[in-house]
Structure 1
Amino acid sequence: MKTVRTSASLFGLIGLAALTPGQAFAQQEGDTAIDSGVIIVTAQRRAEAQVDVPISITNLSSDALRTSSVNQLADIGKVTPALRFDFAGGFFQPTIRGIGTAVTTSGGGGNVGIYIDGFYSPNPLAADFDLISVESIQVLKGPQGTLFGRNTTGGAILVSTKEPSVTGNSAEGQVSFGRYNELQAEAFTNYVISDRVAMTIEGMYRRGDGWQHDISNNKRRVGDYRNWSVRLGLKAELSDSVDVLLRYKHGDVDDPSPMLAATLDTADFGLGAPFGGIPGTYTTAKNRIASGSVGEFIRSNSDVLQATIKADLGFADLTSYSQYRNEKSNMSQDLDYSGLENITAAQRVEYGFGPAQVLGFQLGLPNNNETWSQELLLTSKPGTPLQWTAGLFYFENTDQYITFIDNFGNDAASHIRLGGSSTTSRSYAAFADATYEVTPRFFITAGARYSKDKIVDAYWNQQFTAVEMPVPDISNDKITPRVVLRYKPTRQTSVYASFTKGYKAAILDVGGSCQTPATNFVCNDVQPEDINAYEIGFKYEDRGLSFETAAFYYDYKNLQVSIYRTGTAEIINAATSEIYGLEGSLQYKVTPAFSLSAGASYVHARYKTFNNAPVYTRCTDLGTDVADSCAANGVTFLVVPATLKNVTMQRTPEFTGFLGGRYETRLGGGDLALSGNLFYSSSFFFGPSGVQFKEDGYATLALRGQWTAPDGSYYLALFGDNVTDSRYMTQAQYSSFGIGANWSKPATYGVEFGFNF
């Protein structure tokens, strides 16, 4: 592993030195299709050549995703510099160029907007999903407040999938089987009903055995998962100028893996086990956990209805996006990350615990999430000096959190109601963005978005009851402008300088300060995060070579952070930050048979001033009185607020990069493709203060060999992911009861069969 890390580090230095940056890792499919040698993207809400779009973009085709063993959205981090995906329990939290969040609360949301076929997906408990019939993914870096609005402070991820087509009946799919009995089956069928109507039926099923074992339960294997989804689509061309696409999707997830954490042995303060770690109740092994008497789980199901109407108005194109989402999840997590609940009567006496004293803490957290959204998008016709986009957006999301004490079981008869909270977030927005061709080589882009965000019908539940305590509504207005100057020295090149403003919506802290006697049960009014982003970039695309490079600077204010007070996660505005760096990527077709892709990013992200920074500290390090109080309340760690200056931001490695290659040749009358992708990340800190829970640098390698039949009707493939068996921490889980660590899955490998008729 040391050799691999050294090689990856060397590659990273070469990548930075060459500064062959930007983000173009695209193949010949879907929205990232190469039309006459030009990559087309929709980053500005209209189809344009990527070389002419003044935004840093990572463009991923289905081929690129398959080469890198990408099955779920979080996996795209392996081919996207400066992008991380983290979990806090079951909460999915993307970070781009240092802009992310560790906040998990009602109405919180992330800093990176996720859009699927043009529809906003806001729920962090359902944001990491299996990729089914995906044609392309575009990762937009930097604030996207003008065109995409709220909670796109760090950027936006645009997922495009296949639509019904009237061109002919077809069926395609794949089945793979790999290590840990991992089975994945996926199918997509297109059926032509008439010359103007077609429908699709698609489905996905994934299952696998866990790779960890529970030392508290006779080393029983844990982590088995079962996920499945089905989607129906109907597309009708009502006339030559109007078409309608209707879709329904149901998904079901049963995957406990984000909850399965071992005890973290950290340089910050030693072992993260409760009460110093009673022998036999914890493990720090990467393939082991020590669970309480109640097992961990995450289960969710979702139903999504979407309607897309496109109309050619002659002077412009109108698109209407209407969406309803209903997502329900339930999870139970052992917050002390140990088997402390299982100690014997003799051990209770030995360590001073009473015979009836409850040890450890198992949290149950059901969540009900309902979303309505409507967007109207008007875009100009191509070919005129003025290209523009305008739109109206409405969004409403109600999320309800219910908390239980699950120490005695997670069924209705056993768990104890702890509390809960709920908010309804509404957003109204109007926006316009236009690019004017001053001369054939000089372009000006300007745009702005006006948003009004409201939080209404909020409440929190009194502890140990379901009594709802209403909270007054709040409202915020925000204008997020954008200005870009772009110059084209040649048709193949583009240079730009941009200013963009972004924001993350305000939070009403119903899950924290509202429930704290120290605040007299008054909620913190957490203001919107605010970011001013400056970027200069260069793009080139011609004759099999494309690359981008960008330098950026962010002034980032009013960061929303969690800080523990009396065991409750309170949300406050507590930090200002400064971020700058360089980024880029290269794609080069060396020969007709051999192509290379590479990307690298350097990000210098620092909290300039972080007031009330949450620093986790052992109770025993805070004096006898504090230690006794902690023991009486069953906690082991307290957050000691500190004022920090010029410290690294959480979850932000300074360097990330990837190197991919693909070689194609004829074999046995068919086509053989050999491909691989190496990803590297430098060290970073998981802790919210940016100074705790360090993960050292690591590298992963994915390999694939695929033979496709002469007529393209089927293929056979061998694949491997993390083939070097790199073991690194994927998440540090922190609470007052214990500190846990999730570890990367060991090397996996398998076979795959695909068909296309």
Structure 2
Amino acid sequence: MRSAYQLRSATIAIAFASVLLPFAAGAQEATEAARSDPAAATEIVVTAQRRAERSVDVPISLTTLGADQLATANARELSDIARVTPSLRFDKAAGFTQPTIRGIGTAVVTSGGGSNVGIYLDGFYSPNPLSANTQLLNIESVQVLKGPQGTLFGRNTTGGAILIQTGEPSHETSGQFKASYGRFNETQIQFYGTTGVVSGVAFDIEGLYNHGQGFQTNVLNGDDNIGEYNNYSVRSGLKFDIGDIGSLLLRYMHAEQHDPRPVISNTYVDPVLGVGAPFIAPPGSYVTDPDLVARSGPALFVSKSDVFQGTLKLDLGFADFTSYTQYRTENGDQSQDLDATGIPLFQIGIPVKNKTFSQELLLNSKAGGALQWTAGLFYFSNKDRYRTFADTNGISRDPTGPTRLGGSSTTTKSLAAFIDATYEITPQLFVTAGARYAKDKVTDAYYNVGAAEFPVPSISNDKVTPRFVLRFKPSEETSIYASYTQGYKAAVIDVGGSCQNPPDFACNPIEPEKVNAYEIGAKFDNRTVSLEAAGFYYDYKNLQVSSYLADGRANITNAASSEIYGVEGSLRLRVTSQFDLNAGASWVHARYKEFNNAPVYAPGAGAFRFVIPSGITLENTTMQRTPEFTGNVGASYRTDLGGGELQLSSNLYYTSEFYFGPSGIQFPQEGYEVLSARVQWTDPSDTYTLAVWGDNLTDNRYVTAVQYNSFGLGANWSAPITYGVELSARF
């Protein structure tokens, strides 16, 4: 087994090398082409420092993805960008999406828990992990910022931030329609349209509908539609031009998911623990085949969200002012079979209601001066309420009766002020300094026993997160930088776990996570060749870790300190006007330096098989969900055909071995690769496009999530090879 894994790793490494080695020679040729035709490719512009700048001038390690590269990798939802973003993973705990960057992520699922990676859509923060896996609609770009972003983006960005930018309404009437059909009856329909309403007012609307039957079959009744899903979203906007001084953009979005796939799991097989089903489960009541499940009742995951946003932009003369106002409600419900068998042992229902209000005021200096600065104020309020039920077959619940187990609720509030400034000492030397002060509170916290509420004392924290950067600019095309940044993940109240554990009913003190990050990097971009490389070191303390006690009770604690360091690089190369190449790779060494009372699963007695003993201390142990090596290679080739344009594109993603277990030593997933490809033809009028696409063309089967608890171990699997056709029209 090990030799096969090493052989496959070597094969993938050779494949990467075979593509990367010619780049050096091709880069020189492409550089000469860029000098003779500087408009041959577009310049990469990003907003990683809260203002529009050339990527080469931004001293932050980041991956920028445009619409073409997203299509090449068949990225249809946000989690798919991991295929083209080294050191990024998107994992799930049932329906909760949990991104990890360079080893910094979380497995905490509780009221007010939040993520370590901030997700921003058009400048607005999206805190709810139930709705983090956004369907990609009318996307202009996705930027993945790596490393703590505590100064400019605030709390809960210890791993980094993901910035999604979409198009705005336009007075010029245009639109697009796209429909695709693929294996497992996957049907997706998208549309977008924009036009002027009256002078100074523009309107747009977009929608998405996604349906399929899933790839798994329930062996208990032969149902091959157990994973059937129906998702849709509608988004509209009105943009008002306010003379020469600015604009006001109002948006509303409604989205619904009826998608049981995140909670459909079969039984996980651990190389040490064995089959992760309770020992009382007879053969035939559980399965381990990726395409099969054994489930006595239906699977449920639904979510509904309504989002209202207002963006006001004004030219104040001395600076540009932006106001971001947001109100969002997100209601989700899921029913998860914790024992992962077909016998009705324990199925838990978790309805979640989330309400968020945020207001941010941003000032940016005018471009061109020696001093460039950004200052802002941010207010955030989030009410997060969980309820828990012992679900019965057919998902029948009594809100106040015997099926009601409990629940929890928190209201999180944050008020912050920040400033970040860059001064040009000489035309080649720049210094950046910034800081953010934040006041965080968790109030109105309580847990339920049945329907009864038991209040928990509030907590509050103050935090200052600084940033300092030195950047040297040898030429307009090159930057070299060294940076220190700090980030933190706010403290939480463990209302879903230790607060309600007898006999003390005392909440574990959950301190904020803290990261001190040091990075050196270099960038080069002449519009034809784009190169980035960085080395980083993180001192990571007070990790918030979620686990279960031996009797099944939930528990969150602060793990001891961790150490992370590594190197990362990316390359984009326009070899000719028809042929583009891109590649990226990351090596991350992430270790718990000391982890006291680490949650480690072991065979147990009693009605259920797995327990977590206490008192174990781990040293120099790999961190959860952190492969040492990730990388991708992609290519796109365009040529004339029949008067139109034929485009061939492909992307290969690879990850080395990693562990799903919270202690980083259990539930391994061996290294695997994912190959996607796309062939499309656009007619001579540039109106119609016909495409054929394929995903997971190597037909690799790998675990996408391990649902670990004291009742059993469940595994969610990747889909097998999928393929389909797509037709789009522009007007």
Q: TM-score, normalised by structure 2?
A: 0.95
Cα distance in 2 between the residues matched to 1:543 and 1:479: 38
CA distances 1:695-746 after superposition (whole Å, capped 9, x unpaired): 0000011100111111211111111111111111111111111111111101
Q: Write the deviation string for residues 331-372 of structure 1: whole angstroms up to 9, x where unpaired.
A: 00100001123xxxxxxxxxxxxxxxxxx1000000000000
Q: Which residue of 1 aligns with 2:716?
A: 742
| Counterpart residue number, 2:415 | 428
Which of 266, 269, 274 is 1:270 aligned to? Answer: 274
Q: Which amino acid aligns with 1:398?
A: K
State the partner residue of 1:660.
634
Match among 108, 116, 133 for residue 138 of structure 2: 133
Tell whether 2:167 aligns with 1:162. Answer: yes
Is 1:320 matched with 2:323?
Answer: yes
For 2:362 and 2:500, how far apart are their aligned partners in 1?
A: 41
**Post-superposition shift, 1:11?**
3.2
Q: Distance in 1 between matches of 2:124 and 2:570?
A: 28
Q: Match of 1:75, SS?
A: helix
Q: Equivalents in 1 of 2:23, 2:611: separation in Å?
A: 44
From 188, 197, 205, the equivalent of 1:201 is 205
Q: Structure 2 vs 1, CA of residues 484 and 19 (structure 1 numbering), >3 Å: closer, same or farther?
A: farther
Residue of structure 2 equivalent to 1:590: 575
Partner of 1:244: 248
Whole-angstrom CA distance in 1 between matches of 2:560 and 2:185: 46
Q: Which residue is 1:541 aligned to?
A: 525
**More off after superposition, 317-326 vs 194-203:** 194-203
Does the 8 A contact of 2:338 with 2:347 survive in 1? yes
CA deviation after TM superposition for structure 1 residue 260, in Å: 1.2
Q: Hey, what's the Cα distance between the residues in 2 that align with 1:16 and 1:424?
A: 50
Alpha-carbon offset, residue 543 of structure 1 = 5.0
- The question of whether the paired residues in 2 share the 8 Å contact of 1:271 and 1:277 is answered with no
Tell me the distance in 1 between the aligned counterparts of 2:402 and 2:22: 58
Q: State yes or no: 1:647 paired with 2:631.
A: no
Cα distance in 2 for residues equivalent to 1:19 and 1:432: 40
Q: Which residue of 1 aligns with 2:440?
A: 453
Pair 1:541–1:724, CA change in 2 (3 A): same
**Contact 1:458–1:510 at 8 Å: present in 2 too?**
yes
- Distance in 1 (CA, whole Å) between partners of 2:570 and 2:152 is 24
Instruction: State how far apart, in whole Å, the 2-side matches of 1:76 and 1:473 are.
Output: 38
- The 5 A counterparts of 1:60-139 are 60-139=65-144
* Contact map agreement 1:686 1:694 (CA 8 A) in 2: yes
Matches within 5 A, 1:260-299: 260-275=264-279, 277-291=281-295, 293-299=296-302
Counterpart residue number, 1:180: 184
Deviation at 1:162, TM superposition (A): 1.1
Map 1:359-370 to 2 at 5 A: 360-370=345-355
Asked if structure 2 preserves the Cα contact closer than 8 Å seen for 1:16 and 1:600, the reply is: no
> How much does 1:62 deviate?
0.7
With over 3 angstroms needed to count, the CA separation of the structure-2 counterparts of 1:639 and 1:609, relative to structure 1, is same
Question: Which of 199, 214, 218 matches 2:218?
Answer: 214
2:555 counterpart of 1:551: no
* 1:683 equivalent in alignment to 2:657: yes
* Deviations 1:445-494, CA, capped at 9 Å, x for gaps: 000000000000000012xx211101111100000000000001111110
What is the match of residue 417 of structure 1? 404
Partner of 2:388: 403
CA apart distance, 1:409: 4.0
| Counterparts in 2 of 1:124 and 1:543: CA distance versus 1, 3 Å | closer
Equivalent residues of 1:5, 1:699 under 8 A apart:
no
Q: Within the alignment, does 1:332 sit opposite 2:335 as a pair? A: yes
Q: Contact 2:390–2:403 (CA<8 Å) still a contact in 1? A: yes
Secondary structure of the residue aligned to 2:432 is strand
Match of 1:524 in 2: 508
Length, aligned pairs only: 710
Matched to 2:519, the amino acid is E
The one-character-per-residue Cα deviations of 1:164-213 (angstroms, maximum 9, x if unpaired) are 012x1111121001111101000000021123110001100000111101
CA distance in 1, matches of 2:21, 2:75: 28
Equivalent in the alignment of 1:306 = 309
Is 1:615 the equivalent of 2:600?
A: yes
Q: Report the Cα distance in structure 1 between the residues aligned to 2:179 and 2:684, rounded to whole angstroms.
A: 20
- CA drift at 1:595: 1.0
The answer as to 2:630 corresponding to 1:637 is no
Q: Which shifted more, 707-716 or 433-442?
A: 707-716
Deviation at 1:219, TM superposition (A): 4.8
Tell me what 2:29 maps to. Answer: none
Structure 1 counterpart of 2:514, one-letter code? D
- CA shift, 1:694, in A, is 0.5
- Residue 23 of structure 1 corresponds to which residue in structure 2? none
Residues 19, 583 of structure 1: 8 Å contact kept: no
Of 486, 497, 504, the match for 1:512: 497
User: SS state of the match for residue 408, structure 2?
Assistant: strand
* Conserved? CA contact 1:15–1:600, under 8 Å: no
2:687 is the counterpart of 1:713: yes
Deviation of the 1:564 alpha carbon: 1.5
Query: What secondary structure, in the 3-state scheme, does the structure 1 residue paired with 2:601 have?
Result: strand
Query: Aligned equivalents of 1:332 and 1:7: distance in 2?
Result: 41
Cα distance in 2 for residues equivalent to 1:96 and 1:73: 14
Distance 1:543 1:324, change over 3 A: closer
Match of 2:473 in 1: 488
Change (3 A) 1:87 1:16: farther
Shift of 1:12: 4.4
| Mapped pair 1:10 → 2:14 | yes
Q: CA deviation at 1:125?
A: 1.0
Q: C-alpha displacement at 1:10, in angstroms?
A: 2.1
**Aligned pair 1:498/2:471, yes or no?**
no
In structure 2, C-alpha distance between the alignment counterparts of 1:747 and 1:503, rounded to whole Å = 40
Quote how far apart the aligned CAs of 1:220 are.
4.1
**Aligned 1:552-591 pairs, distance under 5 A:** 552-565=536-549, 566-591=551-576
TM-score norm. by structure 1 comes to 0.92
Over 3 Å counting, the alpha-carbon distance change for 1:415 and 1:38 in structure 2 is farther
> Which amino acid counterpart does residue 570 of structure 1 have in structure 2?
N
Q: CA deviation at 1:568?
A: 1.7
Shift of 1:50: 0.4
Paired with 1:288 and 1:720, the residues of 2 have a C-alpha distance of: 23
Between the aligned partners of 1:285 and 1:8, the Cα distance in structure 2 is 26
Q: Which amino acid aligns with 1:639?
A: I
* Contact 2:41-2:528 at 8 Å conserved across structures: no
CA contact (8 A) 1:408 1:415 kept: no
2:70 is paired with a residue of what secondary structure? Answer: helix
Deviates more, 1:63-72 or 1:212-221: 212-221
Alpha-carbon distance in 2 for matches of 1:276, 1:727 = 28
Return the alpha-carbon distance in structure 1 between the equivalents of residues 592 and 20 of structure 2: 24
Q: How big is the shift at 1:276?
A: 6.1
Residue of structure 1 in register with 2:707 after alignment: 733
2:576 is paired with a residue whose SS is coil
- State the partner residue of 1:349: none
Question: Is the contact made by 1:373 and 1:393 (CA closer than 8 Å) also made in structure 2?
Answer: yes
Partner of 2:364: 379
> Aligned residue for 1:348?
none
Amino acid of the residue matched to residue 566 of structure 2? Answer: G
Unaligned ranges ≥5, structure 1: 21-33, 342-359, 620-626
Shift of 1:522: 1.4
| DSSP 3-state at the match of 1:63 | helix
| Structure-2 residue corresponding to 1:26 | none
Q: CA deviation at 1:217?
A: 2.1
What is the CA-CA distance between 1:540 and the residue it aligns to?
0.3
